[in-house]
Structure 1
Amino acid sequence: MDRISALRNVENALRAFENGEEDLSGTERRVAAVLRTYATEFDGEDAVFRAVGDPPVDGRVVVAPSEPAARERVLAAAGIDPVDAESTAGDDVPEFDLERV
């Protein structure tokens, strides 16, 4: 699914919600399904990575051009400064692996 198709599908879900044809939880499911489909079919130089490990990074999914960049984006998405994490080898930094989605 390309970006335009994904946006159209999200727009259709929002329209159904606005028209009372779908409730909030149904709309959330539809939008999440669109995003999952878009992410798993992501095309281009970047790849989709999922973090597997300690909270709060476990399960986070990011798009990045490389594994090191994905690691930085996962940390940033979890509210952890990647620069501080690299310079601090402490218990505050969660341990995790990355897998391509």
Structure 2
Amino acid sequence: MDRISALRNVEDALRAFENGEEDLSETERRVAAVLRTYATEFDGEDAVFRAVGDPPVDGRVVVAPSEPAARERVLAAAGIEPLRDADPPTDRDIPEFDLERV
């Protein structure tokens, strides 16, 4: 599914909600399904990765060109600044997690 198709499907779901044809939970389900389909069929050099591990990163899904970039994006999405090689040692807790391609 390309971006335009995804946007049209989300728009259709919102229109059905506005017209009283669908309730909020059904609209949420439809929009989530569109996003899930869009993400898993993502075209291009980037891939879709899911974090599996400790909270608050477990289950986060990101699009990135590589595993290292995906790791950084997962941490950023969780509000955690990743450590850099040049950073001094720190007591900050960085959750442990693996990445799986979706």
- Give SS of 2:4's match: helix
Aligned length: 100
Question: What's the counterpart of residue 14 of structure 2?
Answer: 14
Q: C-alpha root-mean-square deviation of aligned residues, in Å?
A: 1.6
Map Cα deviations across residues 67-100 of structure 1 (whole Å, 9 max, x no partner): 000000000000101247x845646110000011
Alignment of 1:56-75 (within 5 A): 56-75=56-75
Map Cα deviations across residues 32-89 of structure 1 (whole Å, 9 max, x no partner): 00000000000001000000000000000000011000000000000101247x8456
Matched, 1:92 2:63: no
User: Structure 1 stretches (4+) deviating beyond 2 angstroms?
Assistant: 86-91
State the distance in 2 between where 1:26 and 1:8 align.
Answer: 17
Structure 1 segments unaligned to the other structure (5+ residues): none
Question: What's the counterpart of residue 55 of structure 2?
Answer: 55
Letter in 2 for 1:51: A
TM-score by length of 1: 0.92
| Same amino acid, percent of matched pairs | 88
Question: What's the counterpart of residue 37 of structure 1?
Answer: 37
Letter in 2 for 1:18: E
Does the C-alpha gap of structure 1 residues 58 and 89 become closer, same or farther in structure 2, counting only changes over 3 Å?
A: farther
State the distance in 2 between where 1:50 and 1:92 align.
Answer: 20
Quick check: which one's helix share is greater? 1
Shift of 1:10: 0.2
- Give SS of 1:97's match: strand
